[in-house]
Structure 1
Amino acid sequence: MSICVPEPTRWAVARIRDGLSYATKRFFHEHGFCYVNTPNITTSDCEGAGEMFQVTTLISEAEKLEKNLIKNPPPSEIDVESAKLIIKQRGNDVAQLKSVKASKQEIGAAVAELQKAKENVLKMEERSKLQPGIPQKDGKIDYSQDFFARQAFLTVSGQLQLESYACALSTVYTFGPTFRAEKSHTSRHLAEFWMVESEMAFAELEHDMDCAEDYVKFMCQWLLDHCMEDMQFFADKIDKSCIDRITMSAKTPFARITYTEAVELLTEAVKNGKKFENHVEWGIDLASEHERYLTEVKFQKPVIVYNYPKEIKAFYMRLNDDSKTVAAMDVLVPKVGIILSTLNLYR
């Protein structure tokens, strides 16, 4: 008999995750998005999204083969040659029986023995080729022997599949598990997490920012309306200001600044004595400390930063008229940092 000890924090998190999952689907449904199931196992990558977990049966098959070869070693060349001599002998037996005009039954039995000897040699030759370890070809792993006959991975993003659906359905989204084999083992870099991804065809950056802000506000308001008991538990036991931040995010318009304006604000803070571990200059990828300064000190609310340098964003981001920045945006929130990012924009 096992006894499960209650863990209030875990159960509160489970209820909130359940509520937010439902709220996510409701938000996108009410805004005309079509839900798309994207694959968890894929042969495609997503640049810059993170290292990928590989899905393969080669290792388990190699382990099985190694155990099998230890228990039942493959035949040697001498064994194969000896088996071939038996074929020759069985062939001679058939010829001898035919020459003396033996009965069909006797000849048939001899032919069967000959066929059996040939099949045995084929099996021995095939088994003699078996080598322990992962199969290789030209010094590289031979994925043609794998389950999918090619490299396969756990998904880091459903972006590619969503883009193809958006071409036909205009507004689509997916919501499911995502896997990242990141080297950083911190609470901010999970190996598995659930992610919302959406694609809007014929949308401008302004539409993207509006949708992102509306989604965050909707989720925050949902917590206040439907999960207040659990939120109060977190406020009492873990973070006293969590309800205040959620309320502020739900009720207050987000600040919107360009990347250039963000760097100018950070540079001004440095001049006024603020010290950052990461150097501030135009062209850097904003660090977590920079994001938290903007959201917690400067604006004290969520901030949308947009129009990033093209060098630090993906190649497919739409190039702005200045030829230096791209139409990309990130939603930053206090205590966390980035929670939403642009995926793709076309002109």
Structure 2
Amino acid sequence: MAEDFTPPISQMQSTTLTDDSIQFENFSRRVLIKNIVGRPDGGVGLAGKKVTVGGWVKTGREQGKGTFAFLEVNDGSCPANLQVLVDASVSPLGDLVPTGTCVLVEGELKKPPTGTKQNVELRVCKVLEVGPVDPVKYPLPKTKLTLEFLRDVVHLRPRTNTISAVARIRNALAYATHTFFQKNGFLYVQTPIITTSDCEGAGEMFQVTTLCTDAEKVERELKQNPPPTEAEIEAAKLLVKDKGGMVADLKSAKASKEELDASLSELKNAKENLSRLEERSKLKCGIPQKDGKIDYTQDFFARQAFLTVSGQLQVETFACALSSVYTFGPTFRAEHSHTSRHLAEFWMVEPEIAFANLEDDMNCAEAYVKFLCQWLLDNCLDDMEFMVKNFDKTAIDRLKLVSSSPFERISYTEAVKLLQNVTEKKFENNVEWGIDLASEHERYLTEVIFKKPVIVYNYPKKIKAFYMKVNDDEKTVAAMDVLVPKVGELIGGSQREERYDVIVKRIQEMELPLEPYEWYLDLRRYGTVKHSGFGLGFERMVLFATGIDNIRDVIPFPRYPGRADL
């Protein structure tokens, strides 16, 4: 029987650390490096304490003519490494020093000699585990690596300082997202990844189908076991006829029960064989067709299905029943783009607020973005300092600006006039009323004209989705975009059109089929409610926070045209 183990209180809950207390990692009986070097005293107060530490060797070097080695170990809990000193008498040093080696060691924390940059180091008394590395083949050398190079080793890149820092910032933003909405009375709803409706109406969706797989399966089966010939089927029919005649003759002759049962069994087998042959003769290679079109009734869902581009439409069903809700999950777009701002798979945060108008929506979006920025300043400052040092000197200042500044609010018409009056810059895209503002326009508004976040509202109806509420002028819709420095549009949202006749007209104007949206129209037919919502592109928020330029470097496993590694 396994030993019953109850961890000490220090392992079961977070406690305020005193100068000499140690916070153990739950469930693995080790101490995180951040709980040593991340202390206000840099770990000095823990000198003399015995701890177990696990991590990966960033750099290792033998010293004293091979009598001991220094290892810089990182476990991913923080940007800083812990210096580990191992004597040759404790473990073979050659197994420990290669970059990438995983070690689990036990030892005593010591204050290093005066003049060294470390506040504390670990003197190892026992090496518990080693995950060895062949330094000749290890694809992540100690030299500085480009982010482009790391995309080719996506399974190993979390071990680098940059990607691990991005992962911690991303985690902090996800935690902050749930914290903000939960504290403000929102219910978390998981919306489907597979859908039959196109939220944006752009048609750039990945199709979900088993028809190709089924066709390939039939093709393989027919190669292994070809379909029966006409002669084989005719012979099987004759056999059934003969066996049927024999049964009839035996009944007429009043044969014994044993003879009749045997003959009936032979007839049954003959019929089953004929049925199998006829079924196999119907097998056809290729996609099933009907009236010259693909027959989706033969598909897995008996209709066309796609990977979702947004959970908004589905989460509205819960907003119209449970009030404030939000969804946070992956979305997909089959846009064949190779720009630094596009992914085929990305994450969206999409709240929906019942009984809320556009102003309520803007208030929520502003509060949410400010909350995210302040959360990083309060909880992820060491990683943000890493970003400032290595990627964007203004990253922390940008977070402070956005978290503390009231957002400017201007109409789309006002924004166009401001941009048309710009003389000191030549835009690549001409500015005129009715265009969808480009990233260069958005960034100019927030970075140059206002020098703070901007919310642009009341966009032209023709460039926005069918579900946005049509304003009284019949030319604009109650839509809004939150623009921030570095990335431009961070959030897009709107008050939803709750009037049944108006939204039906909008669907028809955009030449979309009504049938896939009948369930969505029910929300307007039965107990309609005024409601608003928005979507925040999660990777764009990480880009904004970190200052990294390419969206492929702020998502764990980037998917884009030609690449779907792992």
**1:95 and 1:315, CA in 2 relative to 1: closer, same or farther beyond 3 A?**
closer
For residue 207 of structure 1, the aligned residue among 344, 355, 360 is 360
| 8 Å CA contact 1:38, 1:174 repeated in 2 | yes
- Give deviations 1:28-62, integer Å, cap 9, x for gaps: 11111111111111222213366111111111121
Whether 1:182 and 2:335 are equivalent positions in the alignment is: yes
Q: CA deviation at 1:238?
A: 1.2
For residue 196 of structure 1, the aligned residue among 332, 349, 371 is 349
Q: Which amino acid aligns with 2:231?
A: I
TM-score by length of 2: 0.59
- Give deviations 1:141-193, integer Å, cap 9, x for gaps: 22222221111111111112111111122211111111111111223111111
| 8 Å CA contact 1:34, 1:171 repeated in 2 | yes
Match of 1:294 in 2: 445
| 8 Å CA contact 2:358, 2:494 repeated in 1 | no
Give the percent of matched residue pairs that are identical in Structure 1 and Structure 2.
68
Q: CA deviation at 1:8?
A: 1.1
Q: CA deviation at 1:113?
A: 0.5
| 8 Å CA contact 2:478, 2:494 repeated in 1 | no
| 8 Å CA contact 1:49, 1:156 repeated in 2 | no
Where structure 1 has 5 or more consecutive residues not aligned to the other structure, the ranges are: none
| 8 Å CA contact 2:191, 2:315 repeated in 1 | yes
**How many Å separate the matches in 2 of 1:49 and 1:244?**
37
Q: Which amino acid aligns with 1:248?
A: L
**How many Å separate the matches in 2 of 1:315 and 1:52?**
17
Whether 1:321 and 2:493 are equivalent positions in the alignment is: no
Where structure 2 has 5 or more consecutive residues not aligned to the other structure, the ranges are: 1-130, 134-155, 498-529, 531-566
Q: Which amino acid aligns with 2:250?
A: L
For residue 122 of structure 1, the aligned residue among 265, 270, 275 is 275
4+ residue segments displaced more than 4 Å: 1-5
| 8 Å CA contact 1:199, 1:344 repeated in 2 | no
Alignment of 1:226-305 (within 5 A): 226-269=379-422, 272-305=423-456
Q: Which amino acid aligns with 2:458?
A: N
Instruction: Report the secondary structure of 1:342's partner residue.
Output: strand
Instruction: Report the secondary structure of 1:197's partner residue.
Output: strand
| 8 Å CA contact 1:23, 1:219 repeated in 2 | yes
Instruction: Report the secondary structure of 1:162's partner residue.
Output: helix
Q: Which amino acid aligns with 1:135?
A: P
CA RMSD of aligned residues (A): 1.7
| 8 Å CA contact 2:461, 2:470 repeated in 1 | yes
TM-score by length of 1: 0.95
Alignment of 1:132-211 (within 5 A): 132-211=285-364
**How many Å separate the matches in 1 of 2:489 and 2:467?**
20
Q: Which amino acid aligns with 1:91?
A: G
Whether 1:26 and 2:179 are equivalent positions in the alignment is: yes
Instruction: Report the secondary structure of 1:102's partner residue.
Output: coil
Aligned length, in residue pairs: 345
| 8 Å CA contact 2:326, 2:351 repeated in 1 | yes
- Give deviations 1:68-97, integer Å, cap 9, x for gaps: 001101112221111101111112222333
Match of 1:225 in 2: 378
Structure with the bigger percentage of helix: 1
**How many Å separate the matches in 2 of 1:138 and 1:123?**
28
| 8 Å CA contact 2:358, 2:495 repeated in 1 | no
**How many Å separate the matches in 1 of 2:203 and 2:254?**
76
